[in-house]
């Protein structure tokens, strides 16, 4: 049977009591005073007692209570009490767990800082911001005048004696910055002072219980202030609150039912967080996020895991079930180019089915930036090139307004140069850097003036193109350049054949395509127009054709089309695996090219155009002997009307055999 006795002299003890109550574990809570017990008696089903016990009384209570484990969560300065509890447990042979205040375990733990001297405290505070309540007395006050801004930041609490007031005034402490009062001071009084002067730090000596240390500690914790303690407590053996909670989960077989909030925290400045997001982060047992996100959303003394990878977050949560309320801080808005979707899927699949997972939206860079530049974004194209491939030129060329996120220090300069290369140097770029931070920078200029710009790696832009060019759905043969520098026309796949070939190729928007034997690049360009979120590699060995492909790519604004000069299959080495491939010319290497394609992409979608019967025969033999499925062969014969005087005569083009298939090789 699992029955827990908790000595709850601290906030950690009360938190454990609350936890055990919520899990319906049998427990008894002991407090030193009846006032402390009142917090527990409000909970139906709990038993508690509110008086001090010596060692013999604790032992008798243990023998009569039938407890399986004892948790000592008394104050770190209650050394004798802990010794009595530990000794009683040893005599009765009941497992003993000592809860140490985690914030008291070392330097700068978020809620408390231990220093050896007044001078060390001053040195620590010099690197901070926020008002300071000093409770160490008037004799030590001179040291605080070494703070560069002590007259504005420091509020000194001293005895109400004329000599003390005079000495403090000589140091520069007057008016509201000098608090003359006689103790003792309750927790409520300490809280009122911290609130009144908006103090972020409370400085005290290691005074123990008799000196009101507990009241200062609790007041600082309740008001979100950090405690600076001069002197160190007795070192103890024990474990943190969270480790103790994890042990109790294991001992009492308490099921893990985490509540996880995926929180969009805005740009990074806490002022851009929503109230719901701020509350979820503040109330979380554990805050998770990449460096700047976690730092923006954390509360003093909060448990923080700096991590952004979904699998690592899931792994950590499963290893640490003591954290019931978890907040994951994500930049911007969870619905706008955020890691929320993949993280949601990972946690939903990996956590127990009892877990509750919610997404809380934030203020996106889009909302914030467009409001700053006073532009409406309801018709803008929204894109992101931060950590992903994105055909920005295509989007800007085809839309009046395009909002984008960049992730490289030269991102704006690179974009501006590309716009100039494609004849769009007059497009106006509005740029936002370090949004919401004090060093925020927002400006606008034509792209041609930003080719040398050096800015923040993570930036946003809004491109205004007054003359967008929309893809018409049909590209005519006459739209392409056919010769380079007066040279003879380079062979080109005609419009009707392109239409059928592209239909058989079944392209997707994000396809990775090869065009082998690209010629003028007519089919490469149309592939790049259709696969505008993907990439097209035009492979061609003739230098004059290579020059034409580049010119036609620029003519159509296809920055997702890359020319690969060389002969296949050798030229295919080093290219990413394709999802689709068109072969218009193989120079007698068809089988070798197909071998490389199937090795790179066993399920590649393939279309081959054949003019000669020999090429057709070679292709059909490959279809019979190599692992291709869904093989289809069509012949296209196109005739065009040619005017002869008053008449029109149909003039036939060369017949084309179009073979389409899908790779069926298994690795």
Classified by CATH at the fold level, domain 117-230 comes out as Rossmann fold (3.40.50)
Alpha-carbon distances, residue 79 vs 85, 237, 431 (angstroms): 10, 12, 61
Per DSSP, the residues of 520-567 read TSHHHHHHHHHSTTSEEEEEE--HHHHHHHHHHHHHTT-TTEEEEES-
Q: What is the pLDDT of residues 406-416, one digit of tens each?
A: 977 568 999 99
Give the C-alpha separation, 263 to 358, whole Å: 9
Write b or e for each residue in 194-223: b if 16 or more Cβ atoms lie within 10 A of its Cβ, otherwise e: beebebbbbbbbebbeebbbbbbbbbbbeb
Alpha-carbon span 638 to 496, nearest angstrom: 7
Residue 91 is predicted with a pLDDT of 94
Q: What Å distances lie between residue 409 and 433, 435, 439, 523, CA to CA?
A: 11, 15, 16, 35
| Stretch 585-595: mean pLDDT | 91
Two tokens, residue 446: 């034509």
Residue 585 banded pLDDT, cuts 50, 70, 90: confident
**Window from 122-136, 203-217, 222-236, 616-630 with minimum mean pLDDT:** 203-217
The residue that leads in pLDDT, 302 or 42, is 302
pLDDT tens figures, 505-542: 999 999 999 999 999 999 999 999 999 889 999 999 99
Q: Summarize pLDDT for 542-583 with one digit per residue, the tens.
A: 988 999 999 999 888 888 999 999 999 999 999 999 999 999
* C-alpha dihedral sign at 9, 10, 12, 17: positive
What pLDDT, in 10s, does the model give residues 278-289? 999 999 999 999
User: Tens digit of pLDDT for each residue in 295-340?
Assistant: 888 886 688 999 999 999 999 999 999 999 999 999 889 988 888 9
Lowest mean pLDDT among 1-10, 186-195, 320-329, 600-609: 1-10
- Residue 463's pLDDT band (cuts 50, 70, 90): very high
- Work out the number of other CB atoms within 10 angstroms of the CB of residue 1: 7
Local confidence band at 105 (pLDDT 50, 70, 90 cut-offs): very low
Tell me whether residue 467 is exposed, middle or buried, using C-beta atoms within 10 angstroms of its C-beta: 0 to 12, 13 to 18, 19 or more: exposed
- The pLDDT of residue 656 is above 70: yes
Assign residue 169 a region: left if phi > 0, alpha if psi is -120 to 50, beta otherwise? alpha
The pLDDT-based confidence of 103 (bands split at 50, 70, 90) is very low
pLDDT tens for each residue of 483-502: 765 556 677 888 999 999 99
Q: Is the pLDDT of residue 627 over 70?
A: yes
Residue 74, pLDDT above cutoff 60: yes
CA 488 – CA 107 distance, rounded (Å)? 78
Check whether 123 has a pLDDT greater than 50: yes
Bridge-based pairing state of the strands 459-464 and 131-134 = unpaired
Burial (CB count <10 Å: 0-12, 13-18, 19+), residue 462: buried
Is the pLDDT at 104 greater than 70? The verdict is: no
Please count the other Cβ atoms lying within 10 Å of the Cβ belonging to residue 389.
Answer: 11
In this structure, what is the dihedral angle of CA atoms 592, 594, 599, 602, given to the nearest 10 degrees? -170
Grouping H, G, I as helix, E, B as strand and the rest as coil, residue 127 is coil
Among 215, 236, 216, 240, which Cα is nearest to 228's? 216
Confidence of residue 341 (pLDDT cuts 50, 70, 90): very high
Q: Do the two domains 255-363 and 375-464 of this chain adopt the same fold?
A: no
CB-based contact 527:507 (threshold 8 Å): yes
From edge to edge, which strands make up the β-sheet containing 259-264?
303-306, 286-289, 325-330, 259-264, 356-360
Mean pLDDT on 39-58:
75
The bridge status of strand 459-464 relative to strand 401-406 is antiparallel
Residue 31 pLDDT exceeds 90: no
In the chain, the percentage of residues whose pLDDT exceeds 90 is 57
Decide the pairing of beta strands 69-73 and 96-100.
Answer: parallel
Q: Where are the domains of the chain?
A: 3-101, 117-230, 255-363, 375-464, 483-663
The CA dihedral of 12, 16, 22, 23, to the nearest 10 degrees, is 150
Distances (CA, A) of 465 to 445, 529, 663: 13, 19, 42
Q: Which residue has the tokens 């994951």?
A: 328
Is the pLDDT higher at 77 or at 22?
A: 22
Topology of domain 3-101, per CATH?
Rossmann fold (3.40.50)
Instruction: Return d(Cα 353, Cα 446) in angstroms, integer.
Output: 53
C-beta of residue 21 within 8 angstroms of C-beta of residue 46: yes
DSSP result, 488-526: PPPP---HHHHHHHHHHHT--TT-EEEEES-TTSHHHHH
- Per-residue tokens: 162: 């004329």
Average predicted confidence (pLDDT) for the chain: 88
Q: Place 89 in a pLDDT band, splitting at 50, 70 and 90.
A: very high
633 against 491, higher pLDDT: 633
Distance CA 161, CA 137 (A): 12
pLDDT at res. 107: 37
CATH superfamily of 375-464: Tetrapyrrole methylase, C-terminal domain (3.30.950.10)
Give the integer Cα–Cα distance in Å for 339 and 348: 14
Tokens of 424: 């769009």
Whether CATH 3.40.1260.20 fits 483-663: no
- pLDDT for the residue numbered 108: 36
Per-residue pLDDT at 559: 87
Mean pLDDT of 239-252: 90
Residue 45 pLDDT class (50, 70, 90 cuts): low
**What superfamily in CATH does domain 255-363 come from?**
Tetrapyrrole methylase, N-terminal domain (3.40.1010.10)
- Can you read off the two tokens belonging to residue 400? 């009046």
How far apart are the C-alpha atoms of 653 and 512, rounded to whole Å? 31
Express each pLDDT in 152-184 by its tens digit.
999 999 988 898 999 999 999 999 999 998 878
Give 217's contacts (C-beta < 8 A, 6+ positions apart).
112, 227
């Amino acid at each position: 049977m699992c029955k827990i006795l908790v000595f709850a002299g601290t906030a950690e003890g009360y938190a454990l009591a609350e936890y055990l109550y919520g899990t319906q574990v049998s427990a008894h809570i002991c407090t030193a005073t009846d006032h402390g017990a009142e917090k527990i008696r409000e909970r139906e089903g709990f038993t508690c007692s509110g008086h001090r016990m010596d060692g013999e009384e604790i032992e008798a209570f243990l023998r009569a209570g039938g407890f399986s484990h004892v948790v000592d969560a008394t104050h770190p300065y209650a050394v004798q009490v802990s010794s009595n509890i530990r000794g009683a447990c040893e005599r009765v042979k009941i497992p003993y767990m000592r809860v140490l205040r985690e914030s008291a375990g070392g330097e700068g733990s978020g809620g408390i800082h231990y220093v050896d001297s007044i001078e060390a405290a001053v040195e620590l505070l010099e690197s901070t911001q926020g008002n300071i309540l000093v409770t160490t007395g008037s004799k030590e006050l001179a040291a605080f005048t070494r703070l560069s801004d002590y007259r504005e930041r420091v509020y000194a609490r001293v005895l109400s004696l004329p000599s003390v007031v005079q000495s403090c005034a000589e140091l520069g402490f007057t008016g509201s910055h000098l608090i003359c009062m006689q103790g003792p001071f309750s927790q409520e009084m300490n809280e009122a002072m911290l609130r009144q002067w908006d103090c972020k730090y409370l400085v005290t000596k290691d005074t123990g219980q008799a000196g009101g240390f507990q009241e200062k500690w609790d007041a600082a914790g309740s008001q979100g202030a950090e405690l600076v303690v001069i002197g160190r407590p007795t070192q103890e053996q024990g474990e943190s609150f969270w480790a103790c909670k994890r042990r109790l989960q294991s001992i009492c077989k308490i099921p893990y039912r985490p509540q996880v909030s995926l929180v969009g925290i805005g740009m990074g400045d806490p002022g851009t967080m929503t109230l719901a997001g701020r509350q979820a982060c503040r109330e979380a047992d554990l805050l998770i996020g990449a460096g700047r996100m976690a730092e923006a959303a954390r509360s003093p003394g909060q448990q923080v895991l700096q991590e952004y990878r979904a699998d690592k977050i899931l792994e950590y949560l499963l290893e640490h079930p003591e954290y019931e309320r978890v907040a994951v801080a994500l930049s911007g808005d969870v619905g706008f180019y955020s890691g929320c979707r993949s993280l949601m899927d990972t946690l939903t699949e990996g956590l127990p089915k009892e877990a509750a997972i919610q997404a809380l939206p934030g203020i996106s860079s889009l909302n914030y930036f467009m409001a700053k530049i006073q532009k409406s974004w309801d018709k803008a194209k929204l894109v992101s090139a931060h950590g992903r491939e994105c055909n920005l030129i295509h989007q800007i060329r085809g839309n009046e307004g395009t909002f984008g996120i960049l992730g490289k220090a030269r991102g704006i300069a690179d974009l501006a140069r590309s716009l100039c290369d494609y004849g769009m140097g007059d497009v106006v770029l509005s740029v936002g850097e370090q949004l919401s931070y004090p060093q925020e920078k927002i400006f606008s200029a034509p792209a041609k003036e930003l080719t040398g710009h050096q800015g923040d790696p993570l930036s946003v832009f809004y491109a205004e193109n007054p003359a967008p060019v929309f893809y018409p759905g049909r590209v005519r043969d006459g739209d392409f350049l056919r010769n380079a520098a007066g040279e003879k026309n380079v062979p080109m796949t005609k419009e009707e054949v392109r239409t059928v070939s592209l239909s058989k190729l079944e392209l997707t928007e994000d396809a990775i395509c090869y065009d082998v034997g690209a010629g003028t690049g007519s089919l490469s360009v149309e592939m790049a127009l259709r696969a505008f979120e993907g990439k097209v590699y035009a492979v061609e060995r003739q230098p004059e054709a290579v020059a034409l492909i580049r010119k036609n790519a620029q003519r159509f604004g296809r920055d997702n089309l890359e020319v690969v000069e060389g002969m296949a299959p050798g030229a295919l080495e080093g290219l990413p695996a394709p999802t689709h491939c068109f072969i218009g010319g193989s120079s007698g290497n068809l089988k070798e090219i197909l071998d490389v394609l199937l090795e790179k992409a066993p399920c590649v979608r393939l279309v081959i155009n054949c003019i000669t019967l020999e090429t057709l025969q070679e292709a059909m033999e490959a279809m019979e002997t190599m692992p291709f499925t869904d093989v289809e062969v069509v012949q296209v014969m196109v005739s065009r009307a040619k005017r002869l005087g008053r008449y029109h005569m149909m003039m036939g083009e060369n017949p084309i055999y179009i073979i389409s298939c899908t790779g069926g090789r298994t690795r």
